[in-house]
Amino acid sequence: MDSPDRSLKTERLARILSILDSLKDTGLANVIDLPKIVVCGQQNSGKSSLLESLTGLKFPVKDGLCTRFATELEVRRAPDSSLHACIDPGPDRTASDIEHLRRFRPTVTDVDSLGQIIDEAQFYMSKINPSTICSDILRLQFRGSDLFNLSLVDLPGVFHNKAPGQTLEDKAAVDQLVRNYLRLPRAIILTIVSGGNEPANQIITQMAKEERNDGCRVIGVVTKPDELDGSTRDHQREVFLQILNNEVYHCQLGWFIIRNRNGEQKQLSADDRDEMEAKYLRGKNWSSVPKEQKGVGRLRSRLIQIYHEDVLSQLLPITAEMEEEQNKIKRQISNVAMRPPPHLTKTALLKAITPLNTLIRDAIAGQYQHEFFQQSPRAHQALLHDEILGLIDSYKSRLRTHLKDAKPLGNTVNFAASRTDKRGAGEADPLGQAMEMLSLGGGLPGQYNPAVTEDLFHKLVAEWSSIFRDLVRDLLDVLTDFMKLAAAHLLGADLAPGFLRELVDPVLRRLADELESHLCDLVKKHTTNSPALTRDLLKDGIRRGRARYMSHLMSELLTDSTATSRHRRDSRQSLLEERLLDMPPDTFGSQLALAEALECAEMHYECILKSQALPVIDFPSMDSLVLQKLVKSFDWNLVIGLESDELEKIGNMQIDPAAAKEQEHLKEQYEKLQSGVRELKEMLQEGEFPSLTPSRADTDGEALTANAGFKTPKKHPRDEEAEDSPLTKKFARRPAIASAEESSGEEDSDDYYGKEL
Long-range Cβ contacts of 727-734 (<8 Å, 24+ apart):
727/212, 727/213, 727/216, 728/213, 728/216, 730/185, 731/185, 731/186, 731/216, 731/217, 732/185, 732/186, 732/310, 732/313, 732/314, 732/317, 733/313, 734/306, 734/309, 734/310, 734/313, 734/706
What is the pLDDT averaged over residues 496-510? Answer: 90
Radius of gyration of the chain (CA): 46
What is the per-residue pLDDT across 169-190, written as a single tens digit (0 to 9) for each? 888 989 999 999 999 999 999 9
Question: What's the confidence (pLDDT) of residue 690?
Answer: 46
pLDDT tier for residue 589 given thresholds of 50, 70 and 90: low
Question: What's the confidence (pLDDT) of residue 11?
Answer: 77
Measured in Å, how far apart are the chain's first and last C-alpha atoms? 13
- The rounded distance, in Å, linking the Cα atoms of 323 and 311 is 17
Sequence-separated (6 or more) residues with CB below 8 Å from residue 299: 54, 221, 256, 258
| pLDDT over 70 at 703, yes or no | no
Percent of the chain with pLDDT over 90: 21
SS3 call for 152:
strand
Question: What's the confidence (pLDDT) of residue 81?
Answer: 85
What is the per-residue pLDDT across 323-371, written as a single tens digit (0 to 9) for each? 998 898 888 877 665 556 788 888 889 999 999 999 999 989 888 888 8
- The rounded distance, in Å, linking the Cα atoms of 292 and 299 is 9
- The rounded distance, in Å, linking the Cα atoms of 214 and 264 is 38
What is the per-residue pLDDT across 593-612, written as a single tens digit (0 to 9) for each? 666 666 666 666 666 666 65
229-238, 351-360, 572-581 — which is least confidently predicted? 572-581
| pLDDT over 60 at 299, yes or no | yes
What is the pLDDT averaged over residues 682-692? Answer: 66
483-487, 564-568, 636-640 — which is least confidently predicted? 564-568
> Are the CB atoms for 298 and 750 separated by under 8 Å?
yes
41-45, 320-324, 542-546, 678-682 — which is least confidently predicted? 542-546
Question: What's the confidence (pLDDT) of residue 396?
Answer: 76
40-49, 268-277, 520-529, 702-711 — which is least confidently predicted? 702-711
pLDDT tier for residue 109 given thresholds of 50, 70 and 90: confident
Q: At what angle do helices 384-406 and 450-462 cross, to 10 degrees?
A: 140
What is the per-residue pLDDT across 192-227, written as a single tens digit (0 to 9) for each? 999 988 888 899 999 999 998 878 999 999 999 999
Integer CA distances (angstroms), 341 to 348, 350, 496, 672, 753, in order: 11, 15, 16, 26, 55
| pLDDT over 70 at 279, yes or no | yes
> Are the CB atoms for 693 and 737 separated by under 8 Å?
yes
| pLDDT over 50 at 723, yes or no | no
Question: What's the confidence (pLDDT) of residue 508?
Answer: 93
Integer CA distances (angstroms), 437 to 285, 407, 428, 443, 454, in order: 119, 18, 14, 10, 12
Nearest residue to 107 via CA among 122, 117, 115? 117
Question: What's the confidence (pLDDT) of residue 380?
Answer: 66
Domain 342-542+589-651: give its CATH code: 1.20.120
pLDDT tier for residue 649 given thresholds of 50, 70 and 90: confident
| pLDDT over 50 at 284, yes or no | yes
Average pLDDT in the chain: 75
- Strand pairing partners for 72? 139, 153
Q: What's the angle, vertex CA 80, arms to CA 79 and CA 81, rounded to 5? A: 130
| pLDDT over 80 at 567, yes or no | no
What is the per-residue pLDDT across 68-95, written as a single tens digit (0 to 9) for each? 899 999 998 888 888 889 998 888 888 8
> Are the CB atoms for 299 and 54 separated by under 8 Å?
yes
Q: At what angle do helices 464-499 and 342-365 cross, to 10 degrees?
A: 140
Question: What's the confidence (pLDDT) of residue 755?
Answer: 36
Question: What's the confidence (pLDDT) of residue 261?
Answer: 84
Question: What's the confidence (pLDDT) of residue 546?
Answer: 57
Q: In a 10 Å sphere around its CB, with 0-12 CB exposed, 13-18 middle and 19+ buried, how is residue 192 labelled?
A: buried
pLDDT tier for residue 258 given thresholds of 50, 70 and 90: very high
> Are the CB atoms for 583 and 446 separated by under 8 Å?
no
What is the pLDDT averaged over residues 372-380? Answer: 69
In this predicted model, which residue has the larger pLDDT, 434 or 702? 434
Q: What's the angle, vertex CA 348, arms to CA 346 and CA 353, rounded to 5? A: 90
- Strand pairing partners for 83? 142
